[in-house]
Structure 1
Amino acid sequence: MPHWLRATAILWAGCSALAVAAPSTSAPSYFDPQTLFAPLSLPYPATALRNGAGKPGAMFWQNRVDYSLHATIDTQNDKLSSKEVITYTNNSPDALPTLWVQLDQNMYRKDSRSTVASEWRRGQFTDGYQFDKVTVLIGGKRYDAKFLIDDTRMRVDLAEPLAANGGKLQLQIDYSYQVPGTWGGRTSVTPSTNGKIFEIAQWFPRMAVYDDLHGWNNNPYIGSEFYLEYGTIDYTVTVPGNYWVVGSGELVNPKDVLTKTEQQRFAAAKQSDKTVYIRTVEDLAKTDSRPSASKTLDWHFRMEHTRDVAFAASPAFVIDAARINLPNGKTSLAMSAYPAEGVGSNKWDRATEYVKANIEHFSQWYPYPWPAAVNLGGQGAGMEYPGIVFDGMDDKDDLLFWITAHELGHNWFPMIVGSDERRHAFMDEGFNTFIDVYASDAFNHGEFAPKRDSEYAPKGGNPVDEILPVLADAEAPTLMAPSEAVAETYRHSVSYFKGALGLVLLREQILGPDRFDPAFKEYIATWAFKHPTPSDFFRFMESAAGEDLAWWWRGWYLNNWQLDMAVTGVKAVDDKHGKGTAISLTSKQKLVMPATLRLQYADGTSEDFRIPVETWMHRVSPTIILPVTKAVKMATLDPEHKLPDADRSNNSLTL
C-alpha cells in the first residue's frame, strides 16, 4: 500500500527554538525555500492557442498531411522506388509562400551533417533520395516548383502562397533510393537463412511541421527522433509473389496477396486469444505456400490518424497473430513476423503473446486506436513506428519482452500523443518507459519484473539509488535539454530513466494514483493526435490533479537538483496546545519532497506520518509537532526507500 493511504494528520509548527535530541551535522545546506517554491515561468506561455489548464485553446490549430504512396522494391539490387502524392492542408492563420519537406534518407550521404555530427560512426554510405522534380497541384492546375535541397530538408517555393485557414495543395514526387545494409540502423536490408529482410522506415519525403511555437520545424536530421504531422497514409508495396509484407495500419486487400489457407488462418487469429500461426516454419520450405516468385504482388495498406508508416518485406517470415481485446469493446490484432532464426520457446514463439498483453495493458491509459500492432524480428534496430516495431531476430527471454513492451509503448508516446521528440526526449522516451514499468509488473504475475529503465536496465535494483549518480553529476543535462544536445553518455540515464522515474515519483509519492491516473489519462485523451509541449503537460497535471507542482518541475525537470533530507532531532513537548513530539528536519540539497516519517516507539510499535512538501516552504530546518505522547525510540524519513535521497545515513535518528 502507498504510504499516503496510511498517513496520519500532521500539525505544523514553525518552532525553530525547540531543543533537539542530537545536533545537526556540520555539512552546509544548499536548500533555499525561496528558490524552490518561487513562482515558475514555464518555457511556453499560456495563450489563446494553449491555455492555462494545459489544453488546446479556443484558437488552437494544427496542419494536416495525407499521403498516397506506391513503392516497389527491387529485391535483387536492394533499391526502393516510389510515387508519392502529399496532400497538405494549411490550417494556420499564415499564408505560406514556401513549404519544407524532410528527406531523412539523405542522412546516409557521405556529405551529410549526420555523417560528421552523429556520435554513431558510419563507414558506408548511399546517395540518398534521387528525384529531379516536384510537381504542385492546386486549384485544378499543376506546375513544376522550384526547390532547394539542403542536407536532409527541401524547401519548395510556391508560385503563390498557400492560403491560410484551410488552404490545400498537393505535391507529387517520384523518387528512389538505395536501401542501406544492416549498417543503416533503423532502416536496412538484412540477410537471413531463407532470404532477405527489408525493414523500410523513414522511406518517403515527409512534410515538416509548421506550428504556433516555431513556425517551420526544419532543422537538419542527424539521426535522432521525429516531429511529424497527422493525417491518413494510404500506401501500396509491390514485391515478388513469394514475399510477405507486414506494415503499419490495415491490410486492405488480403484476398489479393494471401493464399486461401493464409486467409483462413488470418481470420481465425482475429478471433483467438491464443497465438495462431498464419505462416509456419514448415511453410517456408513449401513452394505452394505462397504465390509464385515469378510474378509480383501489390500489398495495400491504409492507416488513419497517423504521423508515419513503416513496413517490412521478406520471403523468410514466419507469421503468427492473436486478437487484442480493448477496453472500449473493440479489438485489434497482435502480429509477429520473424525468420526461422527467431523460432524458439523462449524466443519469438512468445512474441505475439507479449504484443497482445502489452497493448491490452497500455490501453488502460488510452485505447489502442489502430487495427494491428506488429512486432518485426530483423536486424535488431529496436525502433518504433506507428503500428509496427523493429526488434532483433535473436532477442529472447526477458530482453525480448522488455524491448517489445518498450517499442510498443511508443505507440502512446509519441505516436498518439505527438510531442516534439527532437526537442523534448523525456516526453517520448521517459513517458514511454514510465508506462513500461507497470506493464512489466503486470505481465504474467511479474514474470519479467521489475523493469525500471528500458530494455538495457539490469534486472532488480532500487531505481532511486540508480539515479543518484546522474543527480550528482555536474555535467549531466537537464530533462529540458534539447534531445539532439544530449550526449549518448547521458541519453539513456536522463531521457529514459530520469524521465520515467520523475513520473513514478509524481504518481506514487507526490500525487498518489487516485489523482495522478485520471489526470494522466485525461492528458492523453486531450492531446491525442496533437502536439503538446512540456509546458502544456506541466499545466495540465497541475490543473487536473489539483496541485501546485512548480517546485517539482523546477527541481526535477528544469534543473538536475539533488535531494538530501535528514532527521536532526526528536523531543517531547508540553505546551498550551497539549502534549506532543517535536521532530526537527533539515535539507542539505536544493530539492525536497513529501515523505513518510516512521516513528518506532519504545513499546515495540510503530506509526507512519506523511510529511507534506509544504513543511519546507519557510525554513531550511523546519520542526513539526506530531500528536504523539509515546516514547520514541527511532525516527526515520522514507523508511521504505522510495525517494532518491543522496545520503540515507542521516535519514534516521535513534534515541
Structure 2
Amino acid sequence: MSFNWPKTVASVVAVSSTILMSASTIAAPSPYDARELFAPLSLPTSVSAYRNGAGKPGELYWQNKVDYNLQARIDIDTQQLHGEEVITYTNNSPDQLEQLWLQLDQNMYQKDSRASIASEWHRSQFTDGYQIASVEVLYRGKTYPAEILIDDTRMRVSLPQPLAAKGGKLQLKISYSYQIPGTWGGRTAVTPTQNSKIFEMAQFYPRMAVYDDQHGWHNNPYVGSEFYLEYGTIDYTVTVPDNYYVVGSGELINPKAVLSKTEQQRLAKAKESDKTVYIRTAADAQAAVAKGSNGTRDWHFRMEHTRDVAFAASPDFIIDAARINLPDGKHSLAMSAYPPEAAGSNKWDRSTEYVKGSIEHFSQWYPYPWPAAVNLGGHGAGMEYPGIVFDGMNDKDDKLFWITAHELGHTWFPMIVGSDERRHAFMDEGFNTFIDVYASDAFNNGEFAPKRDGEYAPKGGNPVDEILPLLADAEAPSLMQPAEAVAEKYRHSVSYFKGALGLILLREQILGPDRFDPAFKAYIKTWAYKHPTPSDFFRFMESAAGEDLTWWWRGWYLNNWQLDMAVTGINAVDTKRIKGTEIHFASQQKLVMPATLRLQFKDGTSEDMRLPIEVWMNHNAPSIVLPLTKPLQSVTLDPEHKLPDANRANNTFTVK
C-alpha cells in the first residue's frame, strides 16, 4: 500500500450567506463519547527505572544472558536425537536466584501433555518427550548433581546455593535424548522425500526460560504456540551420516571438513554472485542417496546475538545460494535447501532469489545481522528460526514468495526485537505482516503485490474492508489478549491482519511515513536483542513521532472498537464571530480517525483537506467552518477508501 498526503484546501476570504443545507439529525443515539476515547490512558506496564517514559530501556534495565554449547547426534534408523549441552547462564538481574527454569518443548508430544489435551490441533500420535539422563550444576569451581523437577514442558533446577545477582554465572550440563516426531510433529519432523528423508530439527535442546522485570520466570507450559527466549552465543555441532548435508542457523565453522572441494568452490562463487549459484545439484543429491554412508561427519556451526538455532539434514538436498547486499557495503548469504522434486522454474528454483530480495528490502528497517539466511523446503510448517526458516517443498508461485518473505521477516520480529510473542502475538505476527506488505510491493516491481493471505484476505476487494467483520464481532478478542488465549478462529484475523493493518493505518493515515518510518527504525535499533513490551512500543512511537496516540492505542489495541464516521450536514454561517460554510460530522461507533475530506464544488472542481483527530476531541458531534468562495455540491469523508469505515453510505453528504 502506498500513502499520498492529501493537499490542504486553499484559504479564501469571501463566503456566500445563502443557507445550503441545515445539519441533519442522527436517528439513533451515537455510542461515540469523546471523553471516553480521549481520556488519560494507563498503559499495562508502568514507567520505572527499568523502562522509561520515552519507551526506551531505563537506566537500570537488565537482561540475563544464555550461551549454549550443543552436541547433537541423529540416529537415522531409530529417528532419535541424542544430545549433550552445556548452558552458561549469567544472572544480570538484581535478584539472587534459588532455582532455574528450563523449557522442554519436546514434552508437548507426550500423550498426557497439556498441549495434547487442550490444543485445538488434535493429534493421534505421540512420543515420550525428552529423556533426561543427567543434569549437573557447575558453580564456583564445583560440580553438583542437580535436584530437578519435570512438570509437563518445564524443568525446575533447584540450586545447591543461590546464584548471585548482578553478574552471577554458572553452568548446567545436561545429557538427553528424544524420539523425533514424523510430519505430525509440525515444527520439528522427519519428512519423507521421493528418494530419502529430511530431518527438520527445531526445539532440539532444553532451553532456558526467560527471567525478566515484568513477570520473573516465564515458565508457563508450552502448548505449541510461540516462544520467548534469552540472547547469547550458541555453538553447536551436528553429527550425521557422511552422505548427509546439513544447513543450519549461523556460520558453518568447518566447511573444509564437510564440503567437497567442488562444493567449496561453488560456495565461494555464490558469496560473490547476485545470481543463484548451485552448490549441490540434483545429480549430486541423487549420487549421495545412492552412495549411502560409511561413517559419520560433524557439522560445526556458531551463531552470536541469537535466542535460538535450528537445522535440517538430508542426503537428498539441492543447495543453491547467492549474495545478499546489505547497507554500508556489508553482505550475507541467501541459501535454499530442498529435495529434487521441489525444483521448477516457478517453484524452489526461485527460492534463493526470494530470500535475497526479501532480506535486502527488510534491511532498510535494520540491517540483517547474521552470515546466512536459509530457506528449507520440507514438511511445510511455515515456521521461523534465527537464520533458517522451514517452508513447504510443494510451495510455488506467489505462495512460495509470500511464505518465504513472511518467515524471513520474523528475523526482525521477534528474532532481533525480542518481544514476548507468547503473550503479545501482534508484536510478532502483526509487526512482521506489516513489513511483508511493503516487501511484496517492492520485490521485482511488484510481481507478487499486493500481499494477500488466503486465510483472511481473498483476492479482490479492499483490504481495509476485510477487517470489518472482526471489528463487528462482539466476541472477538483484542490485540492485547494473550496469544495462547486466542482461539484458532481469531488467530489470523487478530494477530496477523489487525496487527498489521493497525501499523499501516498508523503509518499512512495517522502519522505519515515521514514521521512513522524514522520512529519505527529507531524503535527496532533501540530494542534490538532486548525485550520490549507493548507499553514500551506505544510510548516510544508517541515520543519519537511526536503525537499523542492515546485514542489509537485505546480503540484499536486495547479494545476492538469499530469506526463509522459520517458527514451529517452543510450550512452557511454569518455571525459576528465567524463567517463561512459549516460542515457537520457524527460518529456511529466508538472509534474515530483523522481522514481526508473531499470538497466537491458545484462548478465541477474539488479540493482535498485533512480532517485532524483534534476535531473530535471536544464534541461528540463536531463541526468545522471553512472560508469558501464558491458553493459546495457535496462533501465526502475518506474518498479514497483508506479507512475501515463500517458504513460508507453516510460518508458523503450532497446538497439538494
Q: TM-score range by the shorter chain?
A: over 0.9
Equivalent in the alignment of 1:14: none
Equivalent in the alignment of 1:201: 202
Q: Which moved more, 1:291-300 or 1:251-260?
A: 291-300
Q: Which moved more, 1:1-10 or 1:595-604?
A: 1-10
Structure 1 residue 290: Cα displacement: 10
> Residue 569 of structure 2: SS of its match in structure 1?
strand
> Residue 329 of structure 2: SS of its match in structure 1?
coil
Equivalent in the alignment of 2:313: 313
Q: CA contact under 8 A between 2:80 and 2:180: conserved in structure 1?
A: yes
Deviations 1:261-318 (A, max 9, x none): 100000000000000010111222335x999611211000000000000000001110
- Matches of 1:176 and 1:649, distance apart in 2: 63
TM-score (normalised: structure 1): 0.97
Residues 10 and 36 (structure 1), Cα distance of their counterparts in 2 relative to 1, 3 Å cut: farther
Query: Matches of residues 67-106 of structure 1 in structure 2 within 5 Å?
Result: 67-106=68-107
- Matches of 1:393 and 1:350, distance apart in 2: 12
- Matches of 2:145 and 2:242, distance apart in 1: 36
- Matches of 1:166 and 1:615, distance apart in 2: 53
Work out whether 1:349 is the aligned partner of 2:349.
Answer: yes
> Residue 547 of structure 1: SS of its match in structure 2?
coil
Equivalent in the alignment of 2:489: 489
Equivalent in the alignment of 2:252: 251
Residues 299 and 10 (structure 1), Cα distance of their counterparts in 2 relative to 1, 3 Å cut: farther
Work out whether 1:225 is the aligned partner of 2:226.
Answer: yes
Equivalent in the alignment of 1:46: 47
Q: CA contact under 8 A between 1:149 and 1:155: conserved in structure 2?
A: yes
Residues 290 and 213 (structure 1), Cα distance of their counterparts in 2 relative to 1, 3 Å cut: farther
Deviations 1:467-524 (A, max 9, x none): 0000000000000000000000000000000000000000000000000000000000
Structure 1 residue 218: Cα displacement: 0.3
Q: CA contact under 8 A between 1:453 and 1:500: conserved in structure 2?
A: no
Equivalent in the alignment of 2:596: 596
Equivalent in the alignment of 1:121: 122
Residues 278 and 349 (structure 1), Cα distance of their counterparts in 2 relative to 1, 3 Å cut: same
Structure 1 residue 455: Cα displacement: 7.7
> Residue 149 of structure 1: SS of its match in structure 2?
strand
Work out whether 1:132 is the aligned partner of 2:130.
Answer: no
Output the amino acid matched with 1:314. Answer: S
- Matches of 2:424 and 2:380, distance apart in 1: 25
Work out whether 1:522 is the aligned partner of 2:504.
Answer: no
Equivalent in the alignment of 1:24: 25
- Matches of 1:582 and 1:214, distance apart in 2: 53
Aligned-pair identity in percent equals: 75
> Residue 304 of structure 1: SS of its match in structure 2?
strand
- Matches of 1:374 and 1:107, distance apart in 2: 26
- Matches of 1:21 and 1:341, distance apart in 2: 70
Q: Which runs of 5+ in 1 are unaligned?
A: 12-17
Deviations 1:232-254 (A, max 9, x none): 00000000111110000001111
- Matches of 1:577 and 1:305, distance apart in 2: 63
Q: Which runs of 5+ in 2 are unaligned?
A: 13-18
- Matches of 1:559 and 1:589, distance apart in 2: 13
Residues 196 and 292 (structure 1), Cα distance of their counterparts in 2 relative to 1, 3 Å cut: closer
Deviations 1:548-574 (A, max 9, x none): 000000000000000000001112333
> Residue 566 of structure 1: SS of its match in structure 2?
strand
Equivalent in the alignment of 1:365: 365
Query: Matches of residues 421-500 of structure 1 in structure 2 within 5 Å?
Result: 421-453=421-453, 457-500=457-500
Query: Matches of residues 145-156 of structure 1 in structure 2 within 5 Å?
Result: 145-156=146-157
Equivalent in the alignment of 1:189: 190
Equivalent in the alignment of 2:380: 380
> Residue 316 of structure 1: SS of its match in structure 2?
coil
- Matches of 2:572 and 2:635, distance apart in 1: 13
Equivalent in the alignment of 2:236: 235
Output the amino acid matched with 1:640. Answer: E
TM-score (normalised: structure 2): 0.97
Deviations 1:424-455 (A, max 9, x none): 00000000000000000111111111115578
- Matches of 1:447 and 1:460, distance apart in 2: 16
Q: CA contact under 8 A between 1:242 and 1:290: conserved in structure 2?
A: no
Residues 455 and 251 (structure 1), Cα distance of their counterparts in 2 relative to 1, 3 Å cut: farther
Output the amino acid matched with 1:649. Answer: A
When the two chains are superposed, the root-mean-square deviation of aligned CA atoms in Å is 1.6
Equivalent in the alignment of 1:402: 402
Q: CA contact under 8 A between 1:197 and 1:316: conserved in structure 2?
A: yes
Q: CA contact under 8 A between 1:597 and 1:610: conserved in structure 2?
A: yes
Q: CA contact under 8 A between 1:71 and 1:81: conserved in structure 2?
A: yes
Equivalent in the alignment of 1:531: 531
Q: CA contact under 8 A between 2:134 and 2:176: conserved in structure 1?
A: no
Residues 329 and 460 (structure 1), Cα distance of their counterparts in 2 relative to 1, 3 Å cut: farther
